[in-house]
Structure 1
Amino acid sequence: MLKFLLSRNGHTVSNEINHYFSGFDALEKAVSKQAVFQAKKKLDYHFFAFINAQLCRHYYKNNKYKTWRGYSVIAVDGSIGEAPYTNECFCMFGADIPNKKFNQAKTSPRISGFYDVLNELYIDVSITRFSNCFIRILWK
């Protein structure tokens, strides 16, 4: 599941499933998008920040990385993600504006990160409540 999520390219889940399994020449063993959503619900959101920190530590320790006049060029990026609407996610991230079409609230955590522009690598990622503003997240 993690390998599938990390290899996504921003297409629909159905297209991503077909692309992922065709890479293994195992398209007939592809799972349904419902199975992907069920498996995704079981993941702890802390995992992604943890694995990113480990990858960054390894990269900067074992590679000659690019700098500009001896400085790392860092940018800040922010986005709003999607999380399954569960009690745990609601307590952790709060609720976003209700979906009027389905009359259902959704959880949408704010995601913010520091990005190493020259090495094309996220250095730090923070996932917080929807109600937190991006400026406040930067100072943490």
Structure 2
Amino acid sequence: FTSRSKDGLKGVFSRNRKLNLKNLIVLIMSSASSVQRDLDRFYKSMDKSDFSIRKVTKGAFTQARAKLNPEAFKRLNQVAIDTFYEQNLVYTWHGMRTLSVDGTTLMLPNHQSIKDEFGVHKFGPKADKERSIARASVLYDVLNLVAIDSQIDSYRTSEKELLSKHLEYLKPDDLLLMDRGYPSKALFFQL
């Protein structure tokens, strides 16, 4: 896991530091307030101390986060999903896992790296405003309340294209629910 989470950089997360890979992921996933406050609170808890002594700065956290491959979170999610299905009573409908799929759009922050990744969409009465917008889709187990897979891409990507990426997570005894915009001859061929 560690070697695939380093975003292709050699020597990253190889030494035992205060901000190692495990701590970095826990911090990112549990972040609720300001970054520095979360860092101080996290290390105070790790040290089982009554006092908060600054061990890692916000800048160090930002640099470490930039070295982390975002796919690490998808792999962690897959481990959590696999563990859920192996260790819990799984609800089905007539023996079938009941899945749904739906898409949405997300308004993204106005930052050049985001514009480069997702592109820019013009909107407004005169189409004079620019904004980065993403299309997202989730494959969801409705009876067990588990998100099986999520996809995000540029706004120009259709929900059907994102659905085709979800299909690898389907099993033979799955029932897939979708709204009227999804069915097509191409989809039936893929299934």
Residue 28 in structure 1 maps to residue 53 in structure 2: yes
Q: Please, what TM-score do these two structures have when normalized by structure 2?
A: 0.48
Question: Bigger radius of gyration, 1 or 2?
Answer: 2
Q: Please, what TM-score do these two structures have when normalized by structure 1?
A: 0.61
For residues 69 and 31 of structure 2, the distance between their equivalents in structure 1, rounded to whole angstroms, comes to 18
Match of 1:42 in 2: 67
Match of 1:53 in 2: 78
* 1:26-105 alignment runs, 5 A limit: 27-67=52-92, 72=97, 74=99, 76=101, 78=104, 80=106, 90=116, 93-96=117-120
The answer for unaligned runs of 5 or more in structure 2 is 1-23, 122-130, 166-191
Residue identity opposite 1:5 in structure 2: I
Residue 18 in structure 1 maps to residue 40 in structure 2: yes
Aligned length: 128
Bigger relative contact order, structure 1 or 2, given CA contacts below 8 A and separation 6+?
1
The structure richer in strand per residue is 2
Does the CA-based 8 Å contact 2:100-2:139 persist in structure 1?
Answer: yes
| SS of alignment partner, residue 65 of structure 1 | coil
| Identical-residue share of aligned pairs (%) | 24
The answer for unaligned runs of 5 or more in structure 1 is 98-105
**RMSD of aligned C-alpha atoms?**
3.6
